C-alpha cells in the first residue's frame, strides 16, 4: 500500500457513505493507479434486502463499482493537479463514459481492484480507461471515462439560482 485510507481522505472530497476507495496499492501521478475497495455485507446498499434474498441478490450495484472506479481515477487527476498547482477548491465530476462492459458480479467479501490509466489530460478534464478486477477475475472493462473538474463556487451559484 502506498496511500492509506487517511491519506485518501485528504485527497478526495467524498465522505461516508460515498467514499468508495479504501487503499492505493500503486500510483504513478499523472499516469496510472491501482486502488482497492473492500465490499462488505454491512454496506448501506444491502440493508433493505429481504431476509429471504438469495446469494445472487447480494450482487454489489454496478453503478457503485463505476463510482468507486471513478474515485480511484480521480486520485490520479487530483494528484496531478496538485503538481500543476491548480486551485484546490475544485470538485471532480463524472462527465461522461463510453463502452463500460460488465462481465461478472461482485459480492460481499470481494475486494475490487481498480486499474486506471490516464489517457489524456486537458486543463479542466481528463480521460481515463481501465479495468476492475476481483482476484484473478476481470469484472469490468472501461474503455473511456471522462472526469471534469469544476469550482465548488460555480456549483453554489448554480444551486442558489435554481432554488430561486
Q: Which 112-141 residues touch other proteins, going by CB under 8 A?
A: none
Interface mask toward other proteins for 51-90; x: CB under 8 A: --x--xxxxxxxxx-xx--x--------------------
The candidate with the shortest Cα–Cα distance to 2, out of 35, 29, 25, is 25
Lookup: cell for 142: 472501461
Of residues 30 and 43, the one with the C-beta less far from other proteins:
43
| 101 makes contact with other proteins (CB under 8 A) | yes
CB 86: neighbour CB atoms within 10 A?
14
CA dist 60 and 91 (Å) reads 26
Which phi and psi (to 5°) does residue 110 adopt?
-80, 150
Contact residues toward other proteins (CB under 8 A) are: 13-19, 44-46, 48-50, 53, 56-64, 66-67, 70, 91, 93-104, 152, 155-156, 158-159, 162-163
Amino acid at each position: 500500500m502506498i496511500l492509506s485510507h487517511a491519506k485518501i481522505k485528504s485527497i478526495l472530497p467524498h465522505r461516508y457513505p460515498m467514499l468508495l476507495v479504501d487503499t492505493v496499492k500503486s500510483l504513478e501521478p499523472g499516469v496510472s493507479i491501482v486502488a482497492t475497495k473492500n465490499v462488505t455485507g454491512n454496506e448501506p446498499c444491502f440493508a433493505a434486502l429481504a431476509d429471504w434474498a438469495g446469494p445472487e441478490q447480494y450482487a454489489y450495484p454496478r453503478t457503485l463499482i463505476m463510482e468507486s472506479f471513478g474515485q480511484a481515477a480521480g486520485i490520479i487527476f487530483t494528484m496531478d493537479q496538485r503538481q500543476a498547482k491548480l486551485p484546490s477548491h475544485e470538485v471532480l465530476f463524472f462527465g461522461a463514459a463510453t463502452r463500460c462492459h460488465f462481465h461478472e458480479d461482485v459480492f460481499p467479501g470481494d475486494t475490487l481492484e481498480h486499474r486506471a490509466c490516464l489517457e489524456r489530460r486537458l486543463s479542466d478534464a481528463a480521460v481515463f480507461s481501465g479495468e476492475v478486477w476481483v482476484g484473478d477475475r476481470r469484472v469490468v472493462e472501461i474503455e473511456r471515462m471522462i472526469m471534469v473538474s469544476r469550482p465548488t463556487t460555480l456549483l453554489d451559484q448554480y444551486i442558489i439560482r435554481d432554488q430561486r
